[in-house]
Amino acid sequence: DTGVSQNPRHKITKRGQNVTFRCDPISEHNRLYWYRQTLGQGPEFLTYFQNEAQLEKSRLLSDRFSAERPKGSFSTLEIQRTEQGDSAMYLCASSNWRTGGVGELFFGEGSRLTVL
Amino acid sequence: AQSVTQLGSHVSVSEGALVLLRCNYSSSVPPYLFWYVQYPNQGLQLLLKYTTGATLVKGINGFEAEFKKSETSFHLTKPSAHMSDAAEYFCAVITDTGGFKTIFGAGTRLFVKA
């Protein structure tokens, strides 16, 4: 169990550029979640996958955001045409819904995005 | 839709004093309830959880929380605060009407004074 890994840890970009974040979950976990966290707020749900299927996407999520989880392993979160309001910490978490530990999330350390 | 309200964005206690962090939830069906902790520059980690059964649940580092259905509350307590408890604490809920996704409160930052 090497934990949830996120890359890059920090990203500074100019407004209008595209950025991509990668998340490698705990290997046996079938669910993978993306959250966004801004200063002074709790994690805000963005989307989640069960295996390779994207089961839900937040209605608050702009069409500029897209996530994939090919083959049910790692996941990527892409933000197109970034805006300053996208500046936040992007958190990835995984869980094993099959075998107890109901709903417990294991988080990575996050990817901090700064849009200039 | 389910939601979580944490009362008090900041709580300050003296070392050795009781810690009480308040959490109320809104759910039309029995929830699963969690407390997560985030230490500076670290990812969130599970502190404790309530799924079914005993309403008083114990977690790591001496923390415990009690599920009170009548009050829709899940307050976090620790009898004696330690300096190392200084962190941000998040209450969270899962219900099966929410697609089994975890919804977090805004968080409470705990300060511990020497």
Q: How confident is the model at residue A99 (pLDDT cuts 50, 70, 90)?
A: low
Measured between CB atoms, does B105 come within 8 Å of chain A? yes
Contact yes or no for B99 and A55 at CB 8 A: yes
For residue B51, list chain A residues with Cβ-Cβ distance below 8 A.
Answer: 102-103
User: How long, in residues, is chain B?
Assistant: 114
Residue B21 confidence (pLDDT): 98
Residue A84 confidence (pLDDT): 96
Measured between CB atoms, does B49 come within 8 Å of chain A? yes
- pLDDT (tens digit, 9 = 90+) per residue, B51-84? 888 899 999 999 999 999 999 999 999 999 999 9
Mutate to test the interface with A, among B25, B104, B108, B109 (most CBs of A within 10 A): B104
Q: How confident is the model at residue A43 (pLDDT cuts 50, 70, 90)?
A: very high
Contact yes or no for B90 and A42 at CB 8 A: yes
- pLDDT (tens digit, 9 = 90+) per residue, A8-34? 999 999 999 999 999 999 998 899 999
Mutate to test the interface with B, among A104, A106, A109 (most CBs of B within 10 A): A104
Contact yes or no for B44 and A107 at CB 8 A: yes
Place of tokens 């020497």: B114
Q: Which two tokens stand for residue B41?
A: 């520059």
Contact yes or no for B102 and A42 at CB 8 A: no
